[in-house]
Amino acid sequence: MKVIILSAGQGKRLLPLTSRKPKCLIDINGKSVLEWQVETLAGAGIHDIVVVTGYGAEKVQELVQRHLGYYGVRTHFNPDYATSDNLISCWKARDEMKGDFILLNGDTLFEPAVIETLLDCTRAPITVTVSSKEKYDSDDMKVISQGGRLAKIGKDLPLGAVSAESIGMIYFRDKGPEIFRNALDKAVQDPESKNRWYLSVIDSIAQEQTVMTCSITGLKWCEIDYPKDLKLAEPVVAAIEMHARKHGVHDAFNGHGLMHAHGRAR
């Protein structure tokens, strides 16, 4: 199992915290967002992780070489990060999309139960991880689903029809990677693709083929968009630490010992 993490953006809404480093390297309780993600994935037995970099790429590369490379982490640079959105980051990394993989936003933190739930959720070629709440705001990536099948995904959907929000984690399996690669190739033919999110491609696919959703409502996760989100992330990283201590992941992670035995091998 491979995980591709989209971490090319600066995170301008987090300024001045991101004036000298990318969003994925912001500190939360002593570790960067990227380190928390890798620790969670390592605890689930995942040790093939590609980080798509852009802004501050050299600092991410330094962290990987110094510490995270031991856990199967490597980088893939998007030279167009400053003039494009994450659809282009996906397209630049399309050669990594062979075999089953998870596409993860670089600002999403989640407790280990989230990824375990996703991997056991459906056998669909493409599965979007979602979470429901009482009220949605303009910045949420909203989802309309029918019987678990994705109907629409986007920020501007009618609130009365919204059933959940995407957490920024999508599972591609079986024919899913090929479907996504082909859709990306088609999307980038449009000059406006540089301004689009990759989830617009998922929305297009869902109009022609079955894309399923997997609800992780009730489990801990958060998205780091604004300074206030750093506080909201604390319960999530606490859950990661609790799981790590219970399964012996924390000590091994900090001691550079990869835990194949404490999570299902992926």
Distance (Å, rounded) from C-alpha 248 to C-alpha 45?
13
Name which residue leads in pLDDT, 191 or 87.
Answer: 87
Distance (Å, rounded) from C-alpha 239 to C-alpha 229?
16
Distances (CA, A) of 31 to 19, 36, 68, 118, 200: 18, 7, 12, 25, 32
Average pLDDT of every residue of the chain:
91
Greatest mean pLDDT among 38-42, 168-172, 251-255 lies in 168-172
Q: What are phi and psi of 234, to 5 degrees?
A: -60, -45
**The pairing of beta strand 164-172 with beta strand 142-146:** antiparallel
Domains and CATH numbers, the chain: 2-254 (3.90.550.10)
Report pLDDT for 248: 67
**Tokens encoding 149:** 């099948």
The whole-model pTM stands at 0.92
Place of tokens 């219970």: 246
Centroid of chain to Cα 151:
21
Report pLDDT for 253: 53
Distance (Å, rounded) from C-alpha 37 to C-alpha 199?
21
Complete DSSP assignment for 110-171: E-HHHHHHHHTT---SEEEEEE--S---TTS-EEEEETTEEEEEETTS-GGG--EEEEEEEE
